[in-house]
Amino acid sequence: MQTVKVNNQTHVVDVPGDMPLLWVLRDILKLTGTKFGCGIAQCGACTVHMDGQPIRSCVLPVGDVSGREITTIEAIGEQPLAQKVQRAWLDHEVAQCGYCQSGQIMSAVALLANNNRIDDHAIDQAMAGNICRCATYTRIRSAIQDVSESVGVWQP
């Protein structure tokens, strides 16, 4: 039995402790907004927040998660900053197929939440772990820049 706290709800799930959090979210808790892309932390589609930090849930054994706060794309919109990010994603019409965008948004929200100076280079670094095969990068950058400006952390 494993205990996980996801989106402010505590769940006790009957799975082995070595099962990656990703599959607990998707297959057990049915939170399918977090996506599977590679299974080796190289694409970022499975990004969720653990205590506010972006992590790749595909390589995080659920047994290591107890006592930590997990937030997924389904609940990130409860945070005002994340709402701004989601709005900017729509304003810039970022998504194409949309499959990677949960992970992109989770990485972007963490970047914005954890930094008080954001420039192009910071975007490159923070978003480098998230692959988008449709290559929506140009618009992701614009959307992040927009929110950075609106919250006063953009460094031109």
Partner 1 sequence: MRTLVYGLLAYLMTGAGMSLASEDAAMLEKGKYLAKAADCVACHTAPGKEPYAGGLAFELPFGTLYSPNITPDRETGIGGWSDEQFVKALQEGIGPEGDHYYPAFPYTSYTKMPREDILAIKAYLFSLDPVEQSAPENDIAFPFNQRWGLYFWNLLFLDEGRFEPDPDRSEDWNRGAYLVTGPGHCGECHTPRNLFQAMDSSERLAGADLGGWRAYNISGSDSHGIGTWTEEQLVNYFRQGYAEGLGVAGGPMAEVVDLSLRHLNDRDLRAIATYLKQTEPQATGLPRPTPLADTLAAPEQPGLGSKVFAEACASCHQWNGEGNQSPAATLAGLKTVHDPKARNLMGILMEGNPASSLPVNHRMPDFGTIYNDYELSALATFVLQHFGGLDAEVTPEQIRERQAAALH
Partner 2 sequence: MSDNHLTQESASRRQFLKGSTAAMGGLMVGAWLPPFAPKSAAAAAVATQKGALGDRFAEGFGAFVRVGHDGRVAVISPKIEMGQGIHTGIAMMVAEELEVGLDQIDLQEAPPDADLYTDTLLQFQATGGSTSTRYTWEPLRRAGATARMLLVEAAASVWKVEAGQCQARDGQVLGPDGQALGYGKLVDLAATYPLPETVELKQPEAFRLIGTPAQRLDTPAKVNGEAKFTIDLDVPGMLITSARACPVYGGTVRQVSDRAARAIPGVKDVVVLENAVAVTATNTWACFEALKALDIEWDYGANRELNSARVGEKLHEASRRDGVVAAENGNIDQSLDTAATQFEAVYEQPFLSHSPLEPMTCVAHVQADGCDLWVGTQVPGLAQQTAASITGLSPEQIRIHNQWIGGAFGRRLDFDFITQAVQIASKVDYPVKLTWSREEDMTHDMYRPRYVDRMTAAIGDDGYPAGWRHRIAGGSIIARYLGGLPDNGVDFDAVEIAVDPVYHLDDLKVHYIREEPEVVPISWWRGVGVLRGIYAVECFIDELAHNAGIDPLTYRKTLLQHRPRVVAALERLAEQSNWGDPLPEGRGRGLAVGEVFGSVVATVVELSAVGDKGIRIDRLVTVVDCGLVTNPTSVKAQMEGGTLFGLSAALFNEIEIEQGQVQQENFHEYRQLRMGEAPSVEVDVMPSAEAPGGVGEAGTALIGPALVNAVHAAFGDRVRQLPLTRSGYYIV
Using CB under 8 A, list all residues that contact partner 2: 15-16, 19-20, 23, 26-28, 30-40, 42-43, 45, 72-74, 77, 86, 89-90, 93-102, 105, 123-125, 127-141
What's the N-to-C CA distance of the chain in angstroms?
49
| Beta carbons within 10 angstroms of residue 33's beta carbon | 17
Specify the length of the chain in residues.
156
Q: According to the binding rule CB under 8 A, does residue 20 interact with partner 1? A: yes
Q: According to the binding rule CB under 8 A, does residue 42 interact with partner 1? A: yes
Q: What are the residues whose beta carbons fall under 8 Å from the beta carbon of 106, sequence distance 6 or more?
A: 47, 48, 49, 54, 72, 73, 76
Give CA–CA dist 38/98, Å, rounded. Answer: 16
Instruction: Please identify, among the stretches 3-11, 53-61, 79-87, 88-96, the one whose residues bind partner 1 according to the rule CB under 8 A.
Output: 53-61
Contact residues toward partner 1 (CB under 8 A) are 18, 20, 39-42, 44, 50, 53, 55-56, 58-61, 64, 121-122, 124-126, 128-129
